[in-house]
Structure 1
Amino acid sequence: MSEDYDNDDLDAAEPLVLPLDGWHRERGARMVEFAGYQMPVQYEGIIAEHLWTRENAGLFDVSHMGQLGVAGAEGDLASAAEALEALLPGDISALKPGRIRYSLLMSETGGVLDDLMVLNTGKDFSVVVNGATKWDDIGHLREHLPDEIVLTYFDEQALLALQGPKAAEALGRLGLVPIDGGTPLAELKFMQADIYDWQGKRLGVSRSGYTGEDGFEISVSAADVVELADTLVAQPEVKPIGLGARDSLRLEAGLPLYGHDLNEETDPVSADLAFAISKRRRVEGGFLGAERVLALLAEGASAKRVGLALEGRQAAREGAQVMQGDSQVGQVTSGGFSPSLQRPIAMAYVDAALASPGTALEIDVRGKRLSATVVPLPFVPHRYHR
Structure 2
Amino acid sequence: MTDAPKRTPLYDLHVALGGKMVDFAGWEMPVQYPMGIMGEHKQCREKAALFDVSHMGQVILRGDNVGEKLEAICPQAYATLKEGKARYGFFTNEDGGIMDDLIVSNAGDHYFVVVNAALRHQDIPHMKAHLDGVEVTEIFDRALVAVQGPAAENVVGDLCPAAREMKFMETIVADIDGVECRLSRLGYTGEDGYEISIPDADAERITKLFLAHDDCEPAGLGARDSLRLEAGLCLYGNDIDQSTSPIEASLAWAIQKRRKEEGGFPGADRIQKELADGAAKKLVGIKPSGRAPARQHVEIQCAEGNTIGEITSGCFGPTVGGPVAMGYVAAPHGKTGEQVKLIIRGKAHDAEIVALPFVTQNYKR
Taking structure 2 as the reference length, what is the TM-score of the superposition? 0.98
CA contact (8 A) 2:9 2:143 kept: yes
Deviations 1:196-219 (A, max 9, x none): 012321110011000000000000
1:257 maps to amino acid: L
Q: Does 1:359 find its partner at 2:345?
A: no
1:326 maps to amino acid: G
The residue number in structure 1 matching 2:107 is: 121
1:294 aligns with one of 272, 275, 285 = 272
2:59 aligns with one of 51, 60, 68 = 68
What is the CA distance between 1:12 and its match in structure 2? 3.8
Q: Where do residues 261-300 of structure 1 align in structure 2 (5 Å cutoff)?
A: 261-300=239-278
RMSD: 1.0
Mapped partners of 1:50, 1:149: distance in 2: 40
Q: Secondary structure at the match of 2:79?
A: helix
CA contact (8 A) 2:177 2:206 kept: no
Q: Where do residues 167-316 of structure 1 align in structure 2 (5 Å cutoff)?
A: 167-176=152-161, 184-316=162-294
Mapped partners of 1:360, 1:126: distance in 2: 44
2:348 aligns with one of 369, 374, 378 = 369
Mapped partners of 2:163, 2:220: distance in 1: 26
Mapped partners of 1:143, 1:96: distance in 2: 25
What is the CA distance between 1:222 and its match in structure 2? 1.1
Overall identity of the aligned pairs, in %: 45
Mapped partners of 2:278, 2:226: distance in 1: 30
Q: Secondary structure at the match of 1:87?
A: coil
The residue number in structure 2 matching 1:166 is: 151
Q: Secondary structure at the match of 2:282?
A: strand
1:58 maps to amino acid: A
CA contact (8 A) 2:160 2:174 kept: no
The residue number in structure 1 matching 2:74 is: 88
Task: Give 5+ residue unaligned stretches, structure 2.
Answer: none
Mapped partners of 1:368, 1:345: distance in 2: 18
More displaced stretch, 296-305 vs 191-200: 191-200
1:350 maps to amino acid: V
Mapped partners of 2:259, 2:127: distance in 1: 20
Q: Does 1:23 find its partner at 2:13?
A: yes
CA contact (8 A) 2:176 2:206 kept: no
Q: In the comparison of the two structures, how many residue pairs are matched?
A: 363
Q: Does 1:383 find its partner at 2:355?
A: no
The residue number in structure 1 matching 2:142 is: 157
Taking structure 1 as the reference length, what is the TM-score of the superposition? 0.92
Q: Does 1:98 find its partner at 2:89?
A: no
Mapped partners of 1:118, 1:234: distance in 2: 30
Mapped partners of 1:14, 1:323: distance in 2: 42
What is the CA distance between 1:53 and its match in structure 2? 0.9
Q: Does 1:323 find its partner at 2:301?
A: yes
Mapped partners of 1:155, 1:359: distance in 2: 48
More displaced stretch, 198-207 vs 299-308: 198-207
2:60 maps to amino acid: G
The residue number in structure 2 matching 1:6 is: none
What is the CA distance between 1:13 and its match in structure 2? 2.5
CA contact (8 A) 2:159 2:177 kept: no
2:278 maps to amino acid: G
Mapped partners of 1:340, 1:197: distance in 2: 35
What is the CA distance between 1:175 and its match in structure 2? 3.6
Mapped partners of 1:264, 1:228: distance in 2: 37
